[in-house]
Amino acid sequence: MKLISKPANVSRRIIAIDQGFSLADQMKLSGSRTDVALYFDIVNTVGSLCDRYLPYRDDICNMLEEKFTVIEEVKRRYNCLECYEDDWPLKVMIGQHRQLRRAGGRGLSSSATQRTIKQTVGDREPSGAHTRSKSRKPSKAVRSVTQQSTRVHRSQKENLPVPDSRYNTPETMFEATVVDKQLLEHEVVLQFLRDLAQDLSFLLPVFVRYGITGRTTLRSVRCMENWRGWIYTWVKEGNLTELQFKIISDGMEKIV
């Protein structure tokens, strides 16, 4: 396996990858929507593990073993990370997460979750929400996911075939088929989120990341003895607000 060497000038732009010269670019994980989704999943995982094993108030020099544990665990979950020399992308993510936390922020995991949500729904915000900064135009890869999702959902609703698009070329047909299957698989979860007291469909990436991808897994969670406690851990990890937890819990109660 050919290792990807550490660039002479490593980018610290981890979240805003659509602005150019980002860590995703240097990791070669910005070329397709699949790459972008994988990249942000890695960023989320690094942030969550840092909060668990590397308290930001402590000196990293006294936690070298814990840092090694975090890096090895992330590499175990994502085999593609074996191709980076001396694990340089993960070390950058860990350092940036701890810096954000020390500055009073919520770190990479929360930022990446919000970024993924915006990408999936085209920068849509939930009803009544307020933003502190203007939304940026999604990247080409993100826009194509949103457009494909809209076409599939509209066609299913109207019982029509999915319309052709400029992406349905022989070169991209296989990729489009994979995306269609994923969208159909997640449709039950998406509909559940839409039918809540407040439309929380923008939280689909959070559900998918925790393994809730369809009807079977949704019902399985509802049958868990302490499903409320498990979902509340999402709040503690910065992936849900208290209000969203209450709305989701009310909806889960109705699943039989």
Q: What is the pLDDT of residues 92-114, one digit of tens each?
A: 999 988 888 888 777 776 555 55
Kindly state whether residues 32 and 65 are assigned to the same domain: yes
Instruction: Confirm whether 125 is domain-assigned.
Output: no
For 150-164, 174-188, 208-222, 227-241, which range has the lowest pLDDT when averaged over its residues? Answer: 150-164
Kindly state whether residues 113 and 144 are assigned to the same domain: no
Instruction: Confirm whether 5 is domain-assigned.
Output: no
Kindly state whether residues 87 and 174 are assigned to the same domain: no
The whole-model pTM stands at: 0.47
Instruction: Confirm whether 156 is domain-assigned.
Output: yes
Helix 33-53 to helix 107-121 angle, to the nearest 10 degrees? 150
Instruction: Confirm whether 127 is domain-assigned.
Output: no
CA angle 142, 146, 149 (to 5 degrees): 140
Kindly state whether residues 52 and 109 are assigned to the same domain: yes
Instruction: Confirm whether 8 is domain-assigned.
Output: no
Domain count, the chain: 2
How far apart are alpha carbons 147 and 23 in whole angstroms?
26
Instruction: Confirm whether 11 is domain-assigned.
Output: no
- Say yes or no to pLDDT of 116 above 70: no
Burial letters 227-243, b for 16+ CB under 10 A, else e: eeeebbebeebbbbeee
How far apart are alpha carbons 224 and 62 in whole angstroms?
39
Q: What is the per-residue pLDDT for 109?
A: 61
Q: What is the per-residue pLDDT for 55?
A: 87
Instruction: Confirm whether 3 is domain-assigned.
Output: no
- Say yes or no to pLDDT of 183 above 70: no
Helix (H, G, I), strand (E, B) or coil at 4: strand
The residue written with tokens 């919000």 in the block is 114
| Domain around 106 | 17-120
Kindly state whether residues 108 and 175 are assigned to the same domain: no
